[in-house]
Chains A and B, each alone.
Chain A
Amino acid sequence: DTAVSQTPKYLVTQMGNDKSIKCEQNLGHDTMYWYKQDSKKFLKIMFSYNNKELIINETVPNRFSPKSPDKAHLNLHINSLELGDSAVYFCASSPRDGDYGYTFGSGTRLTVV
């Protein structure tokens, strides 16, 4: 059973399109995150939700909008895609206590052409 699952694994789309990435966790964790990994492997947090409530919203263009319908799901919608949005996007989850670390999904590779 996959603990944190993301779909799709690959996404190729044209500039200006709108796309969504879905994430689900079956670990019973309270908190979910979206991270962006650039071509140099650098990881940066985008958003964090705790039990459906937004708690971290880093400096991310407002074309990116997270949605958490329940604490097991955190989706990422991106409007008007740009070339610079090409990256690998990782979903992760953790218990409320940060000492346990995160469990990551396998990533979604987004390519904007």
Chain B
Amino acid sequence: GNSVTQMEGPVTLSEEAFLTINCTYTATGYPSLFWYVQYPGEGLQLLLKATKADDKGSNKGFEATYRKETTSFHLEKGSVQVSDSAVYFCALSDRARGNKLVFGAGTILRVKS
């Protein structure tokens, strides 16, 4: 079945450091790919998305490119802030199953000042 694998956390960075959170997927067909962010005590918010190969999603300084050849959708940010501390989830949309979102296990990001 479809699945998403994310790098394990927690990831701890100093403010202004470069961030990469790796995400790879296994899917039949061509799913849409998403990154969601969950701040403490809150629900998940859509951070960015890409719907086809080579698309780049971007939002709030975060970027991710849909790479079909490596089945990856890595999240990057050039300079993190303390306010970016949260849990980040990579997900794919399983079009064959009612657009069910399949999530990775989540990666905790901690940014120190």
Contacts and interface: CB of A to CB of B under 8 A. Distances in A.
A97 B49 CA distance: 14
Interface stretch (B16-24, B68-76, B77-85, B91-99): B91-99
Contacts of A55: 98
A31 B99 CA distance: 9
A94 interface: yes
B106 A103 contact: no
| Most chain B beta-carbon contacts within 10 A, residue among A40, A102, A106 | A102
B98 A107 contact: no
B46 A102 contact: yes
A106 B82 CA distance: 22
A92 B75 CA distance: 23
Contacts of A33: 100-101
Interface in A17-75: 31, 33, 40-43, 45, 48, 50, 55-56
Contacts of B94: 98
Nearest to B9: A41
Chain B binding surface SS class: strand
Interface residues of A, number: 27
A33 B103 CA distance: 14
Contacts of A94: 99
A102 to B, nearest CB: 6
Given A41-B87, A41-B105, A90-B44, A101 B100 contact: no
Contacts of A97: 99
B89 interface: yes
Contact of A48 (B42, B44, B93, B100): B100
Contacts of B61: none
A42 B43 contact: no
Interface string B12-55: 00000000000000000000101010100011111001010000
Interface of B: 32, 34, 36, 38, 42-46, 49, 51, 87, 89, 93-95, 97-103, 105-106, 108
